[in-house]
């Protein structure tokens, strides 16, 4: 059984169609990206998923419960962080969590467990008004995880966060999905975030899903694109010619563009270090999602 199953959902406002025959599913422990430009229908979809508006036709089921006919049961399995989380800024982070815990009869042990998961242990007793935006996002995430939701919905979760905050938030979400089996639905227009965070992505434009594709463990991908920056230009060039993991490479000054066998980055780094090549930077290039987005959403690669 899927945690979230959306079948043939349509939504219109007056004569204008906003969502057209939307269908997708999300399974336990999966991080599902909903990727599209502003105005594509992402926010309308989320409002339907959390029961704020109803579809004109089609069905939305959460843990087998239809949101239209079993609204309370379906939504009891959902946690959400939509835009900026609503927090009592004059209370501490812990007091915010305890307010919800008392209402929902959640144990103090569970509260402490969630605080540790979102990495707020050191600051949980500070007033929320002293929190950075990233800390507020983490506290909002903690609030949504308190009731152990089967489905976690995140709407543009990294908006306004600095690079460090984005990395922290991504790590927490991935950990929650892996350790608790929570299914995560992430709406975003940021390609790099979806690439780094998600297992599966649905490309949506003008209310229509163009494609649903796996972006993790893609068995069709046999090679990886890597950029290497080093001072030892001649030595690096000679070494790369001898390595079996390197399929092709080119260089411009001290920047090398490599095509290597998939999952061979660690082996490449080992060989460079073994041969005393100083690495200034090395990173994988994530072009695949960008190119696919341009094909499906923008009508072609620029």
pLDDT digits (tens, 9 = 90+) for 13-24: 888 899 999 999
Tell me the two tokens of residue 231: 């001072």
161/40 same-domain check = yes
Can you tell me whether residue 59 is helix, strand or coil?
A: strand
Query: CA-CA distance, 104 to 98, in Å (whole number)?
Result: 10
- Comparing CA positions, the residue from 40, 82, 77 lying closest to residue 60 is 77
In a 10 Å sphere around its CB, with 0-12 CB exposed, 13-18 middle and 19+ buried, how is residue 47 labelled? middle
As given in the structure block, the two tokens for residue 23 are 């269908």
294 within some domain = no
State how far the Cα of 110 lies from the Cα of 147, in Å rounded to an integer: 9
The alpha carbon of residue 209 and the mean position of all alpha carbons in its chain are separated, in whole angstroms, by: 18
* Residues 200 and 252 placed together within one structural domain of the fold: no
Say if 296 falls within a structural domain.
no
Domain membership flag for residue 277: yes
Domain final residue, candidates 214, 240, 272 = 214
Same domain, 107 and 29: yes
pLDDT tens per residue, range 159-211: 777 777 788 888 888 988 888 889 999 998 888 788 888 989 999 999 999 88
Residue 182: left (phi > 0), alpha (psi -120 to 50), or beta?
Answer: beta
CATH classification at residue 59: 3.40.50.300
Rounded Cα distance, 16 and 241, in Å: 59
Domain harbouring 238, CATH code: 3.30.70.2070
- Same domain, yes or no: 67 and 129: yes
- Model pLDDT for residues 281-295, shown as the tens digit of each residue: 888 765 567 777 777
Whether residue 153 is found in the same domain as residue 207: yes
Domain residue limits at 167? 4-214
Q: Show which of 214, 241, 265 is a domain's final residue.
A: 214
Confidence of residue 60 (pLDDT cuts 50, 70, 90): very high
* 90/192 same-domain check: yes
Q: Cα separation of 198 and 219, whole Å?
A: 16
Cβ atoms 220, 196 nearer than 8 A: no
Q: Is the residue at 283 inside a domain?
A: yes
Q: Is residue 161 part of a domain?
A: yes
* Model pLDDT for residues 229-284, shown as the tens digit of each residue: 999 999 999 999 999 989 888 888 888 888 888 778 888 999 999 999 999 988 87
Write down the H helix ranges in the chain: 42-49, 71-75, 93-104, 108-117, 133-145, 163-180, 191-197, 233-242, 265-274, 288-296
Same domain, 190 and 61: yes
The answer to whether residues 161 and 208 belong to one domain is yes
**Cα separation, 184 vs 201, whole angstroms:** 12
Domain count, the chain: 2
Looking at residue 219, what is its pLDDT? 40
Residue where one domain finishes, among candidates 166, 188, 214: 214
Residues 138 and 248 in one domain: no
Q: What sign does the CA torsion over 159, 217, 144, 163 have?
A: negative
CB of 288 within 8 A of CB of 280?
no
Which positions ≥6 away from 202 have C-beta within 8 Å?
A: 24, 32, 33, 34, 35, 209, 211, 212
DSSP 218: -
Residues 13 and 85 occupy one common structural domain: yes
The number of C-alpha atoms within 13 Å of 22 and in the hemisphere containing its C-beta is 33
Question: Are residues 187 and 205 both part of a single domain?
Answer: yes
- The two tokens of residue 262 are 């998939």
CB atoms within 10 A of CB 97: 25
Residues 125 and 274 in one domain: no
What is this structure's pTM?
0.73
Query: Is residue 150 assigned to a domain?
Result: yes
């Amino acid at each position: 059984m899927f945690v979230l199953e959306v079948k043939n959902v349509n939504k219109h406002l007056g004569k204008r169609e906003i969502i057209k025959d939307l269908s997708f599913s999300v399974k336990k422990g999966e991080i599902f990206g909903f990727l599209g430009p502003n105005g594509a229908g992402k926010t309308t979809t989320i409002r339907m998923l959390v029961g704020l508006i109803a579809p004109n036709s089609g069905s939305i089921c959460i843990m087998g419960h239809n949101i239209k006919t079993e609204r309370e049961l379906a939504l009891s399995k959902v946690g959400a962080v939509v835009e900026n989380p609503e927090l009592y800024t004059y209370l501490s982070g812990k007091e915010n969590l305890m307010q919800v815990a008392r209402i929902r009869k959640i144990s103090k042990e569970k509260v402490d467990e969630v605080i540790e998961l979102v990495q707020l242990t050191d600051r949980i007793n500070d007033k929320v008004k002293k929190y950075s935006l990233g800390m507020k996002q983490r506290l909002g995430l903690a609030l949504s995880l308190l009731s152990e939701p089967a489905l976690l919905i995140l709407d543009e979760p990294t908006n306004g966060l600095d690079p460090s905050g984005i990395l922290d938030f991504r790590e927490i979400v991935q950990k929650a999905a892996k350790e608790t089996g929570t299914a995560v639905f992430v709406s975003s227009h940021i390609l790099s975030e979806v690439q780094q965070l998600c297992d599966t992505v649905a490309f949506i434009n003008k209310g229509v899903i163009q494609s649903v594709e796996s972006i993790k463990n893609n068995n069709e991908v046999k090679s990886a694109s890597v950029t290497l920056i080093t001072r030892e230009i001649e030595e690096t060039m000679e070494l790369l010619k001898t390595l079996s993991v390197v399929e092709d490479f080119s260089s411009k000054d001290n920047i090398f563009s490599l095509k290597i066998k998939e999952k061979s980055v660690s082996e490449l780094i080992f060989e460079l270090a073994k041969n005393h090549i100083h690495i200034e930077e090395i990173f994988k290039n994530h072009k695949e999602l960008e190119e696919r987005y341009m094909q499906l959403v923008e009508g072609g690669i620029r």
